[in-house]
Amino acid sequence: MQGFIGLIEHKVASGDGSAETQTIKCTRNAAASIALVCSDSSYEQSTLVLSRLAGLELSTMTEFRVTNCVAAEFVNDVPTEIGVDAISETEKKIGGNILETRVNQLNDSDTKDETDKIIQAALKNGPDGVFHEDYNGPKIKVMYIMSDGTGVPGISRELAGVRGKQSDGSAKTFEAKIGTVFIVEYTADGKPLLTENGEIFRNKDVRYMGTVRKSDDFGAMLYQHAVDNGLLDVDCVVFLGDGAKWLWSIQREYFPYALSGIDLYHAIERVNAMIDLLRFKERVGSGKKQAIKDECIELLRYGKVKEMLDLVELVPCKKGNEKKFACAKGYFLTNMDRMNYGVFAACGIFVGSGVVEAGCKVIVGTRMKNAGMHWSKENAENMIALRCAIRNNDFLAEYLSNGYNEQLENAA
């Protein structure tokens, strides 16, 4: 029943610049197959694959039009009815939860010596938790929300006046923003469930979304994505990302109750860059520089940002780098509360945003950043939506069932 003949409509620009609709006769199953192949390979490569494996002799333009039509069904609108009251109600429910309480207890200065021992044990052997296979008691749900951005090579007419990344101003891109959510379960008293290897157990799929829209729109879309995937039913929210200002603006507006953290590995890169601004004596410089880096990274892993900065300030800055160093130091002072890595490790909280970074590569990089590719923002939006739907395992079920429902409505 799913292989009925349908009409796929595709809007293209006519000679006078206006939009006109072209209709392609195609079964819904065939359209899904074409889009699935084209989502993974260039249109040129897809032509060969579809010809060899499916016997479909199609032009690259037909493949593009069919894929764009299919992908457009997965592009989400920007939510317009997210009120402050809804966010406040969620904050009342999630704020002050058991996981946040554990973090605050370990941050209490009155238990500093005990906390240091707990952190040392966690960094050495992993967090104190319970093997998930042995635990049958009540659980709490923690939603992790992560976001990141990556460049997409754009077409010249949409990037006029934008300077590219190369020294000659070429390699112009626009930004795609990717968001991920997933849920991790903890014991009722906030201890992580662990695998046999002592790693934090996660049995829920990661759910992806993405857009090339501005950060204001992305924030509303990310909030809706979190709601659609269980935000209102969890007990705690953890928000992770890099140091981008737009990202933390979103966190403050839509997830003010979240425990927030900057990706540890991004912070380590910042440490290395900061130390590169310092001056070391030539004879012992190389060894001393690496020793300072190692010690600073160790302090960072413990969440001892102030102690790390005190250590760095013992080394003079290279002449001319004073402003850069002040800026680098300011970054850590501003984000100190988000670099509570030792306590997070002791509580079994993820400190890395590798999930969303991998999402940027899988959803955008592997399909949209190959040599010679240039995308319009509209086509990039469609392709990102399609690849997110495929990654979320929503694509075939939703696309084919939607078509079947349309057939029943038309028949009625």
> 208 forms bridges with which residues in the sheet?
180
Q: pLDDT truncated to tens, each residue of the chain (412 aa)?
A: 233 345 555 555 555 555 556 566 777 888 899 999 999 999 999 999 999 988 888 889 889 989 998 999 999 999 987 877 888 888 888 887 888 888 988 888 677 888 899 999 999 989 999 999 999 999 999 999 999 999 999 998 898 877 666 555 565 899 999 999 999 999 998 999 999 888 888 877 899 999 999 999 999 999 999 999 999 999 999 999 988 899 999 999 999 999 999 999 999 999 999 999 999 876 555 688 899 999 999 999 999 999 999 999 999 999 999 999 999 999 999 999 999 999 999 999 999 988 999 999 999 999 999 988 999 999 999 999 999 999 999 998 888 776 545 543 443 3
Structure tokens at 115: 């906390």
Distances (CA, A) of 393 to 108, 151, 207, 209, 396: 44, 25, 9, 12, 8
Q: DSSP label at 128?
A: S
Please spell the DSSP secondary structure of 42-53, one letter per residue: -HHHHHHHHHHH
| 209 vs 380: CA distance, rounded Å | 13
Structure tokens at 187: 């014991």
Residue 412: its pLDDT value, please? 35
> 10 forms bridges with which residues in the sheet?
22
Residue 169: its pLDDT value, please? 56
| 345 vs 126: CA distance, rounded Å | 7
Helix (H, G, I), strand (E, B) or coil at 282: helix
Amino acid identity, position 90 = T
Q: Enter the pTM of the model.
A: 0.88
Structure tokens at 269: 């890169």
| 212 vs 13: CA distance, rounded Å | 21
| 138 vs 185: CA distance, rounded Å | 10
| 295 vs 275: CA distance, rounded Å | 11
| 322 vs 228: CA distance, rounded Å | 47
Residue 92: its pLDDT value, please? 86
Instruction: Annotate 75-95 with b (16+ C-beta within 10 A) or e (fewer).
Output: eeeeeeebeeeebeebeeebe
Residue 93: its pLDDT value, please? 85
Helix (H, G, I), strand (E, B) or coil at 58: coil
Residue 192: its pLDDT value, please? 94
Please spell the DSSP secondary structure of 245-267, one letter per residue: HHHHHHHHHH-TTSEEEE-HHHH
Residue 332: its pLDDT value, please? 96
Residue 15: its pLDDT value, please? 54
